[in-house]
């Protein structure tokens, strides 16, 4: 280093030392050339050392990821594209794989799948980086799902419960409320020390804005990161978005935190992957999807798990969303996802139009492992309620034909009708778990039996107010809960009597 007022001798001395240390050598640097470009992909010649997933840099500053290798050319998906990128541009290997910044600085932020902020504020420098695709935790690092993750939605928390580390599919036709369930679940994690990542893949700008605004309005951004790859963006980014969201949550999971990731939605992701694969001339399989789409989704969802105490005890719960066409769950992508996940919540069109919302079809929804994580008290009460509901669904079929039924059956049908009203729930109104227990006890003890179905919502509200202010916890004795229920519902009846 030269001082501010250096002398000529000093300068000459420095130069001489530099020359003495200089050793001529050869540095081999491969250089490729863009052969053609379009639809978010580039074909490049040269670069014989390139491998799948390598990041390429172009001389105009654009970037791409190697996606396909043929004998003479490389197919790459663009991650960043400037207007100067044309056929003939030079490309070189960066020697890096795709990674993104992770850590607490991402809470409350909206980023793209490369970690570039989309909310007009820079991210702090020197954040830890995580590779977008890493191996999922080994079996020995995992624990059984044993803790519940409450969604605040009556039907789910009682009948299709989700555990921390579970992968639960939200499946249904367009516009039946899949995103609403995911949003409610995120909003319900407020104050529960669960970090959330909401990944928006291939959605229209209006929906993206809507979801972000809702998260902000319900103060959910404090513990949430939103990863956005819009429909109008590069397909390469849409393909990477779920992996980016997973990487963010994975970092927290390995630090011992509980996390929740929503992939909204993987149908759009599969379509983008199909588009890229067809453009890169990979052989199409069923429904023109490439054969490895199953492994892409399985790799992604295998990373959601519950780590054992020796590995920090963190967890990643995944809520992938899938769209069906006309309720067809036997299509390729839905069947794939159903087999990969630990259960599904199925939304039904006829229930939605009949005003039963959330339109969850209980008969077709299942949680294969969540029951083990459900609180003992909720499980007991929900089990009794479920029997009544399933019986009602069977009996209801008779009433459709106008058949006369005996008195006991009529009572069961009436009870079922009230239950159906009780299970309805507005969006953005998640309930505390104590309220779930209270209404289950009230129902099982027959407190809703002598009311008309139309009055169920009002009765429920009263119970809600009383339970919210009560000090009882899930483990409190049942007698105390029954007392609370009796007291609160008796008050309403007194108020109703003129
Ligand atoms: N529990 C609910 N109660 C009343 N309305 C609801 C409920 N859940 C969803 N909706 C309504 O259903 C519509 C669709 O909801 P949402 O956007 O969540 O569905 P989606 O399946 O994600 O749709 P898309 O296919 O557009 O992504 C919205 O207008 C929403 O207000
Ligand atoms: Mg949606």
| Ligand 2 mean position, distance from CA 179 (Å) | 4
Residue 179 CB less than 6 A away from ligand 1: yes
Residue 178 CB less than 6 A away from ligand 1: yes
* Residue from 169, 170, 174, 175 to probe ligand 1 pocket by mutation (most atoms less than 8 Å from CB): 175
Torsional sign, CA 293, 133, 315, 425: negative
- Residue-wise pLDDT for 405-437, tens only, equals 788 888 999 999 999 999 999 999 999 999 999
Residue 174 CB less than 6 A away from ligand 1: yes
Contact call for residues 56 and 64 (beta carbons, < 8 A): yes
> Among 137-141, 301-305, 467-471, which stretch is predicted with the lowest mean pLDDT?
467-471
Residues serving a catalytic function are: 368
Q: How far apart are CA 406 and CA 243, in angstroms?
A: 57
pLDDT value, residue 217? 98
Q: How far apart are CA 146 and CA 406, in angstroms?
A: 43
pLDDT value, residue 492? 57
Residue 22 burial (10 A CB sphere; 0-12, 13-18, 19+): exposed
> Among 203-207, 361-365, 449-453, which stretch is predicted with the lowest mean pLDDT?
449-453
| Ligand 1 mean position, distance from CA 358 (Å) | 8
Residue whose C-alpha is closest to residue 261's, from 204, 185, 333:
185
Residue 425 CB less than 6 A away from ligand 1: yes
What does pLDDT average to over the chain?
93
pLDDT value, residue 312? 96
Q: How far is CA 224 from CA 249, 260, 304, in A?
A: 10, 9, 17
pLDDT value, residue 497? 47
Strand partners of residue 366: 344
Q: How far apart are CA 280 and CA 35, in angstroms?
A: 13
* Residue from 170, 184, 425, 427 to probe ligand 1 pocket by mutation (most atoms less than 8 Å from CB): 427
Contact call for residues 241 and 298 (beta carbons, < 8 A): no
Name all domains of the chain by residue range, CATH numbers in brackets.
Answer: 32-97 (2.40.30.20), 100-374 (3.40.50.300), 378-496 (1.20.150.20)
Residue 176 CB less than 6 A away from ligand 1: yes
Closest ligand (CA of 360): 1
In this predicted structure, the answer to whether residue 3 has a pLDDT above a threshold of 80 is no
| Mean local confidence (pLDDT), 102-110 | 97
Longest dimension (CA), the chain: 113
- Residue-wise pLDDT for 337-346, tens only, equals 999 999 999 9
Q: How far apart are CA 430 and CA 151, in angstroms?
A: 7
pLDDT value, residue 396? 84
User: Bigger pLDDT: 13 or 104?
Assistant: 104
Ligand 1 atom nearest residue 203's Cα:
27
Ligand 1 atom nearest residue 425's Cα:
1
Ligand 1 atom nearest residue 323's Cα:
25
pLDDT value, residue 491? 60
- Residue-wise pLDDT for 171-223, tens only, equals 999 999 999 999 999 999 999 999 999 999 999 999 999 999 999 999 999 99
| Mean local confidence (pLDDT), 215-238 | 97
Residue 182 CB less than 6 A away from ligand 1: no
| Mean local confidence (pLDDT), 317-344 | 97
pLDDT value, residue 494? 53
Residue 427 CB less than 6 A away from ligand 1: yes
| Ligand 2 mean position, distance from CA 323 (Å) | 9
Residue 429 CB less than 6 A away from ligand 1: no
| Mean local confidence (pLDDT), 73-82 | 95
Lookup result for tokens 């049942």: 478
pLDDT value, residue 30? 87
Residue nearest to atom 10 of ligand 1 (CA): 177
What residues pack around ion ligand 2 (CB closer than 5 A)? 179
| Mean local confidence (pLDDT), 249-273 | 97
Question: What string of H, E and C letters represents the secondary structure of the chain?
Answer: CCCCCCCHHHHHHHHHHHHHHCCCCCCCCCCEEEEEEECCEEEEECCCCCCCCEEEEECCCCEEEEEEECCCEEEEEEEECCCCCCCCCEEEEEEEECEEECCHHHCCCEECCCCCECCCCCCCCCCCEEECCCCCCCHHHECCCCCECCCCCHHHHHHCCCECCCECEEEECCCCCHHHHHHHHHHCCCCCCEEEEEEEECCCHHHHHHHHHHHHHCCCHHHEEEEEECCCCCHHHHHHHHHHHHHHHHHHHHCCCEEEEEEECHHHHHHHHHHHHHHCCCCECHHHCECCHHHHHHHHHHCCCEECHHHCCCEEEEEEEEECCCCCCCCHHHHHHHHHCCEEEEECHHHHHCCCCCCECHHHCEECCHHHHCCHHHHHHHHHHHHHHHHHHHHHHHHHCCCCCCHHHHHHHHHHHHHHHHHCCCCCCCCCHHHHHHHHHHHHCCCCCCCCHHHHHHHHHHHHHHHHCCCCCCCCCHHHHHHHHHHHHHHHHHHHCC
- Residue-wise pLDDT for 22-41, tens only, equals 888 887 788 999 999 999 99
pLDDT value, residue 493? 56
| Ligand 2 mean position, distance from CA 235 (Å) | 19
Ligand 1 atom nearest residue 175's Cα:
23
Lookup result for tokens 């670069």: 47
Contact call for residues 42 and 78 (beta carbons, < 8 A): yes
pLDDT value, residue 4? 61
Torsional sign, CA 6, 7, 8, 12: negative
Distance of CA 60 to the CA centre of its chain: 35
Residue 210 burial (10 A CB sphere; 0-12, 13-18, 19+): middle
Residues with Cβ within 8 Å of residue 472, at least 6 apart in sequence: 434, 480, 481, 484
């Amino acid at each position: 280093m030269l001082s501010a007022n250096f002398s000529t001798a000093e300068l000459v001395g420095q130069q001489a030392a530099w020359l003495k240390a200089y050793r001529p050598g050869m540095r081999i640097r491969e250089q490729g050339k863009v052969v053609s470009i379009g639809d978010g992909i580039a074909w490049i010649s040269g670069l014989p050392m390139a491998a799948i997933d390598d990041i390429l840099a172009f001389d105009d500053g654009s970037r791409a990821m190697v996606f396909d290798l043929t004998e003479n050319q490389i197919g790459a998906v663009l991650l960043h594209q400037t207007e100067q990128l044309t056929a003939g541009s030079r490309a070189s290997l960066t020697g890096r794989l795709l990674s993104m910044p992770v850590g607490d600085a991402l809470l409350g932020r909206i980023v793209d799948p490369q970690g570039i902020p989309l909310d007009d504020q820079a991210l702090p420098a020197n954040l830890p980086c995580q590779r977008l695709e890493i191996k999922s935790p080994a079996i020995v690092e995992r624990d059984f799902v044993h803790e519940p993750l409450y969604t605040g939605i009556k039907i789910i928390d009682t009948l299709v419960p989700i555990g921390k580390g579970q992968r639960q599919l939200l499946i249904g036709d367009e516009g039946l409320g899949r995103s609403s369930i995911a949003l409610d679940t995120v909003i319900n994690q407020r104050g529960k020390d669960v970090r959330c990542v909401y990944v928006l893949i291939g959605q229209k700008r209006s929906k993206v804005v809507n979801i972000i605004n809702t998260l902000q309005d319900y103060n959910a951004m404090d513990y949430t990161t939103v990863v956005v790859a819009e429909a109008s963006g590069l397909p390469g980014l849409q393909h990477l978005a779920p992996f980016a969201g997973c990487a963010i949550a994975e970092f927290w999971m390995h630090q011992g935190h509980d996390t929740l990731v929503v992939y909204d939605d993987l149908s759009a992701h599969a379509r983008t992957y199909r588009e890229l694969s067809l453009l890169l001339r990979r052989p199409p399989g069923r429904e023109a999807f490439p054969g490895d789409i199953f492994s892409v989704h399985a790799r992604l969802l295998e990373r959601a798990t519950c780590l054992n105490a020796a590995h920090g005890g963190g967890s990643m719960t995944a809520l992938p969303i899938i769209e069906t066409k006309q309720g067809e769950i036997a299509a390729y992508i839905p069947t794939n996802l159903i087999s990969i996940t630990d259960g599904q919540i199925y939304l039904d069109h006829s229930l939605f139009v009949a005003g039963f919302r959330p339109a969850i079809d209980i008969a077709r929804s299942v949680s294969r492992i969540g029951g083990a994580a459900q609180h003992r008290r909720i499980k007991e009460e929900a089990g009794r309620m479920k029997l009544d509901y399933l019986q009602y669904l069977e009996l209801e079929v008779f009433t459709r034909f106008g058949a006369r039924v005996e008195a006991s059956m009529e009572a069961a049908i009436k009870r079922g009708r009230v239950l159906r009203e009780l299970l309805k729930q507005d969006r953005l109104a998640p309930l505390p778990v104590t309220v779930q227990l209270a209404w289950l006890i009230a129902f099982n003890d027959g407190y809703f039996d002598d009311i008309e179905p139309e009055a169920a919502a009002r009765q429920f509200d009263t119970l809600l107010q009383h339970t919210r202010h009560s000090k009882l916890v899930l483990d409190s004795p049942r007698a105390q809960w029954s007392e609370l229920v009796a007291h609160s519902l008796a008050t309403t009846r007194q108020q109703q009597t003129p």
